């Protein structure tokens, strides 16, 4: 399991922030510099906005937050983030992590996944830390089971605890603070005059703290708990950051939809009464299951769509309503084993694996008991049976139907959406509640669509009034409504026909079947037709958002980013331009890839590295001209409170680290130890698998002499960088060979693809130079400025723009190349111009530019420009300017 592109962006943001901390040695300055220089979203932290100035909640300790919506993979992100964080620390520092979760349910789930050697979370952590990982719960720590002063030096010690277990509210929790003879081995670490308690041991380890669902840990008591852990770094993960969060990365709903992580949009359909809600839920579930069964027969994976019936009991502890509803459903020919009740007092889901083909459950009756710690991508429909006069309260449960099965698109469009069915006379208030529910899951009002538009009258559109309303997440839960099922006419509800192979074969993915006696106003056809139209519109929005090849800034930041539009004089000409890019004819693996046997997708380097075996490549690397860059995290005695902070290592401290790494007693495991250290420093080189990188690094180290190991200990960062550069060189050479083969085999074609964006967000801007396409252009350095100034003043140039690195147009192929400038001539030719200082090499970019020009056509040109240097395939500045005059 590898990181999705948006997840890799989060890890990159984390590494970028740590670089800023190392550069400034001041957390507020580092946070400011991080955002001011962010390549994708450059902005200043603004008081009262989505990104506020840094808040030192735990003084002196880096404390940052990642905003990730429900189904965005928070736990997997945290598992990957550990390597990046520990890469900022010296190798002799104990690698301890305290992983905090908000509830017992999530505690059990997290422990189970992190302890399972076959689970992707644990597999990734094992890879990053050479398999030397131990996961503990509180009981294991108190017993000293596998937890000692020597073990914490040898491994990553990952401690999973709930917030409450550290708050000492009962006798069991207080054991954390009591003297413990099972931890005697930590006596040297703590000192002879200290009582040996588990909390003192944790404090002495200065752990990295991961806070899952961190919005649950913002009270004064929770902040004191964090301080008490004496952390070296705190990483918050949440869909709904609070005001004191230092957010360094935003994950947007569009990014999740693009990667098929979520079932969006949420289709909301309002019925006349609760009878219709039940009828539609039953028939919609059947039709979704028929479509899923048909896909499975044709090569798809198993899906069993589930309905969540949100019922309201007369009192909070009364299960009569739930049991009556269950019996009524059984009376409509639904097998009893298909129905489960999950309430605070009755849990029929215990020990059920809802994703198993052996599980029969298709209907779950609940109120809000599924609000957390429950994961079932098969949940598709939320059917509210709230009283008609009430606004539907879905805030706590809506996120349960958003996760996409198997993180993959499905042939039937309706299997790519989720559904909320209601019968409320206060529909506008219900929509308001849905927006709150989406916000709690990290999404926004744009992520749902109303399928029954007539219920929105009277106008004007209500969205303008409630989207911007402040959300009170701390408000007490509403009192359950006094209600029963007396008004529901179960005789009007059509019996549910069984899902058979014959019925599945006959079903249409766009025209679902309805029950014979289904009420017309609430029929499944009406829902399906409206849903399909809304889904097509939503997909167009997702596609349009990435038409320029890059994701737009997250919605929460769009109002903060300074944007500059295309000048009106150039708008018509610029918007008509489409820059060609390479597309790969991807072989069809399944029916979902289309009917033609293959589909064209934008070529990525990943596709060219299929079959690349790094572990077998040559290891010829010259380790010379290196410089030392060791760091440590230690207590800063200049502060009032001694707290961990980042500082450089020099002098005797460096010697102590080398002594630890090169200890003769560790000689037999030296290669393993150094490999682990390099894997911690090298970062993610996706799509090259970590195991391939580890195999390659081991081969390099196996040939090292004692002197080289010593030199490496002095210059680990530069050694690692040289290895990283070698890996990139080898991968690019392999990708280039594949690229040529694909061109010769017609597996790669050129298509007009990239549209110049209507506005840009460059951050730092350059000088005003005539004929610039946008009101302001991105920052330009000295030689670049000279080149573009000379070009812009040529009479045959129509307009030019600074192509933004990582956000603008890229020539895609065996590498991604963002030329410095895009220039349009009055004759209709488009020039891509890359400038290079005379001291820099650009052989690979020149090759890629030549391939691009060969396939792009006569209206396109590519130029590499040096000031005076003569390079094959490139131009000296004077020669280039003379050439352009005639284009």
pLDDT tens for 421-462 read 988 777 777 778 777 778 777 787 777 778 754 544 433 333
Note the maximum CA span of the chain. 88
Please, what is the end-to-end C-alpha distance for the chain in angstroms? 50
Report residue 145's pLDDT band, with 50, 70 and 90 as the boundaries: confident
Q: Has this prediction a pTM greater than 0.85?
A: no
Asked if the model's pLDDT at residue 641 lies above 50, the reply is: no
Q: Where are the alpha helices (DSSP H) in 229-316?
A: 253-258, 274-297
Distance CA 709, CA 677 (A): 12
Which pLDDT band, with edges at 50, 70 and 90, does 256 fall under? confident
Rounded Cα distance between 605 and 812, Å, is: 8
Least confident of 356-370, 490-504, 732-746: 490-504
Q: What is the pLDDT of residue 85?
A: 92
What was the pLDDT predicted at 580? 95
Decide: 447 and 267 in contact? Cβ < 8 Å.
no
CATH code that applies to domain 263-454+487-545: 3.40.50
493: confidence class by pLDDT, cuts 50, 70, 90: confident
- State phi, psi for 531 to the nearest 5 degrees: -65, -45
**Tokens matching residue 337:** 């084993």
Q: Does this chain's domain 55-252 share its CATH topology with 263-454+487-545?
A: yes
The chain-wide mean pLDDT, for the chain, equals: 81
Retrieve residue 482's tokens. 């006094």
Across 180-189, 250-259, 488-497, 635-644, least confident range: 635-644
Rounded to an integer, the average pLDDT of 169-181 is: 75
What's the whole-number mean pLDDT along residues 629-638?
A: 39
pLDDT value of position 471: 34
Nearest Cα neighbor of 267 from 429, 413, 462 is 413
Residues facing residue 600 across a β-bridge:
585
Pairing assessment for the beta strands 63-67 and 233-238 based on DSSP bridges: parallel
Confidence at residue 631, expressed as pLDDT on a 0 to 100 scale: 40
Q: What is the pLDDT of residues 695-720, one digit of tens each?
A: 899 888 888 887 888 888 777 778 88
Is-contact 353 391, C-beta < 8 A?
Answer: no
43, 35 Cβ separation under 8 angstroms: yes
Is the sign of the CA dihedral 587, 588, 593, 596 positive or negative? positive
Q: Do the beta carbons of residue 122 and residue 115 sit within 8 Å?
A: yes
- Omega prior to 662 cis, within 30 of 0: no
Instruction: Give the whole-number percent of the chain exceeding pLDDT 70.
Output: 82
3 state SS of 293: helix
Closest Cα to residue 246, out of 577, 558, 13, 503? 13
Percentage, residues of the chain above pLDDT 90: 32
How many CA atoms are closer than 13 Å to the CA of 226, on its beta-carbon side?
30
Domain boundaries, given as residue ranges, for the chain: 55-252, 263-454+487-545, 614-635+651-742, 756-884
* pLDDT tens digits along 751-798: 998 999 888 888 788 889 999 999 999 989 889 999 999 999 999 999
Task: List, for residues 203-251, the tens digit of each pLDDT value.
Answer: 989 999 999 987 766 666 778 888 889 999 999 999 888 888 999 999 8
Mean pLDDT of 14-23: 92
- As given in the structure block, the two tokens for residue 46 are 């603004």
55-252 is a CATH 3.30.70 domain: no
Round to whole Å and give the CA distance between 275 and 491: 9
> What CA dihedral angle connects 179, 180, 183 and 187, to 10 degrees?
30
Q: Tell me the C-alpha distance between 512 and 292, whole Å.
A: 12
**What pLDDT, on a 0 to 100 scale, did the predictor assign at position 803?**
94
pLDDT on residue 163: 83
Lowest mean pLDDT among 13-17, 107-111, 164-168: 164-168
CATH code for residues 756-884: 3.40.1350
For 177, counting Cβ atoms within 10 Å of its Cβ (0-12 exposed, 13-18 middle, 19+ buried), the class is middle
CB 97 within 8 Å of CB 82: yes
pLDDT-wise least confident of 67-71, 193-197, 311-315: 311-315
């Amino acid at each position: 399991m590898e990181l999705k592109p948006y997840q890799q962006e989060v890890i990159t943001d984390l590494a970028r922030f740590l670089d800023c901390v190392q550069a400034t040695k001041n957390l507020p300055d580092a946070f400011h510099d991080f955002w001011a220089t962010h390549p994708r979203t450059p902005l200043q932290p603004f008081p009262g906005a989505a990104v506020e100035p840094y808040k030192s909640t735990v003084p002196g300790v880096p404390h940052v937050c990642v905003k990730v919506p429900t189904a965005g993979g928070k736990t997997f992100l945290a598992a990957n983030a550990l390597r990046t964080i520990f890469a900022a620390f010296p190798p002799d520092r104990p690698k301890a992590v305290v992983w905090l979760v908000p509830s017992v349910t999530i505690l059990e789930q997290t422990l189970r996944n992190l302890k399972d050697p076959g689970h992707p979370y644990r597999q990734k952590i094992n890879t990053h830390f050479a398999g030397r990982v131990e996961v503990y719960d509180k009981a294991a720590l108190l017993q000293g089971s596998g937890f000692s002063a020597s073990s914490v030096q040898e491994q990553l010690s990952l401690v999973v605890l709930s917030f409450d277990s550290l708050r000492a509210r009962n006798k069991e929790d207080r054991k954390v603070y009591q003297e413990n003879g099972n931890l005697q081995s930590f006596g040297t670490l703590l000192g002879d005059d200290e009582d040996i308690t588990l909390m003192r041991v944790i404090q002495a380890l200065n752990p990295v703290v991961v806070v899952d669902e961190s919005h649950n840990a913002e009270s004064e008591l929770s902040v004191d708990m964090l301080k008490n852990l004496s952390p070296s770094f705190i990483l918050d993960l949440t869909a709904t950051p609070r005001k004191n969060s230092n957010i360094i990365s935003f994950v947007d709903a569009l990014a999740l939809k693009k990667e098929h992580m979520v079932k969006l949009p949420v289709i909301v359909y309002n019925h006349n009464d609760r009878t219709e809600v039940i009828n539609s839920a039953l028939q919609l579930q059947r039709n979704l299951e028929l479509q899923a069964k048909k896909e499975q027969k044709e090569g798809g994976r198993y899906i069993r769509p589930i309905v969540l019936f949100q019922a309201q009991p007369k009192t909070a502890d009364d299960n009569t309503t739930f049991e009556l509803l269950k019996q009524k459903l059984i009376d409509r020919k639904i097998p009893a084993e298909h129905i489960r009740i999950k309430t605070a007092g009755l849990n029929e889901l215990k020990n059920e694996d809802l994703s198993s083909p052996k599980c029969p459950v298709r209907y779950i009756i609940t109120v809000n008991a599924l609000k957390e710690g429950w994961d079932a991508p098969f949940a598709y429909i939320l059917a509210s049976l709230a009283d008609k006069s009430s606004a539907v309260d879905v805030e706590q449960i809506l996120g349960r139907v958003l996760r996409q099965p198997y993180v993959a698109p499905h042939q039937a469009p309706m299997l790519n959406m989720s559904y909320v069915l209601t019968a409320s006379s206060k529909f506008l208030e219900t929509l308001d509640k849905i927006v709150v529910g989406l916000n709690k899951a990290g999404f926004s009002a744009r992520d749902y669509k109303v399928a029954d538009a007539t219920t929105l009258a009277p106008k004007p559109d209500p969205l303008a009034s409630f989207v911007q309303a402040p959300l009170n997440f701390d408000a007490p839960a509403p009192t359950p409504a006094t209600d029963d099922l007396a008004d529901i006419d179960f005789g009007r509800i059509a019996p549910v026909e069984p899902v058979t192979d014959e019925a599945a074969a006959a079903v249409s993915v766009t025209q679902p079947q309805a029950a014979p006696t289904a009420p017309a106003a609430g029929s499944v056809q009406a829902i399906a037709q409206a849903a399909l139209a809304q889904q097509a519109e939503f997909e167009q929005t997702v596609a349009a958002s990435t038409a320029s090849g890059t994701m737009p800034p997250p919605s929460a930041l769009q109002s903060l980013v300074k944007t500059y539009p295309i000048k009106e004089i150039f708008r018509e000409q610029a918007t008509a331009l489409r820059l060609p890019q390479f597309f790969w004819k991807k072989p069809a693996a399944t029916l979902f890839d289309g009917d033609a046997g293959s589909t064209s997708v934008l070529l990525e380097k990943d596709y060219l590295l299929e079959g690349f075996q790094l572990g077998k490549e040559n290891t010829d690397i010259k380790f010379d001209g290196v410089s030392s860059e060791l760091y440590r995290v230690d207590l800063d005695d200049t502060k009032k409170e001694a707290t961990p902070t980042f500082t450089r290592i020099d002098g005797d401290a460096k010697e102590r680290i080398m002594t630890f790494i090169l200890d003769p007693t560790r000689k037999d495991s030296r290669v393993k130890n150094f490999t682990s250290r390099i894997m911690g420093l090298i970062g993610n080189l996706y799509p090259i698998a970590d195991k391939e990188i580890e195999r390659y690094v081991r081969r390099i180290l196996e040939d090292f002499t004692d002197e080289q190991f010593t030199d490496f200990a002095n210059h680990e960062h530069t050694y690692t960088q040289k290895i990283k550069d070698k890996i990139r060189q080898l991968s690019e050479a392999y990708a280039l060979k594949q690229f040529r083969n694909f061109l010769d085999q017609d597996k790669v074609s050129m298509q007009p693809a990239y549209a110049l964006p209507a506005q840009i967000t460059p951050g730092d801007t350059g000088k005003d130079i005539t004929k610039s396409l946008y009101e302001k252009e991105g920052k330009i350095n000295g030689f670049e400025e000279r080149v573009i100034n000379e070009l812009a003043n040529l009479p045959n140039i129509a307009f030019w723009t600074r192509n933004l690195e990582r956000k603008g147009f890229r020539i895609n192929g065996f590498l991604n190349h963002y030329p410095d400038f895009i220039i349009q001539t009055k004759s209709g030719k488009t020039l891509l111009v890359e400038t290079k200082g005379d001291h820099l090499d650009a052989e690979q970019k020149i090759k890629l530019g030549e391939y691009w020009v060969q396939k792009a056509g006569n209206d396109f040109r590519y130029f590499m420009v040096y000031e005076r240097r003569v390079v094959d395939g490139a131009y000296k500045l004077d020669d280039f300017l003379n050439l352009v005059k005639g284009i």
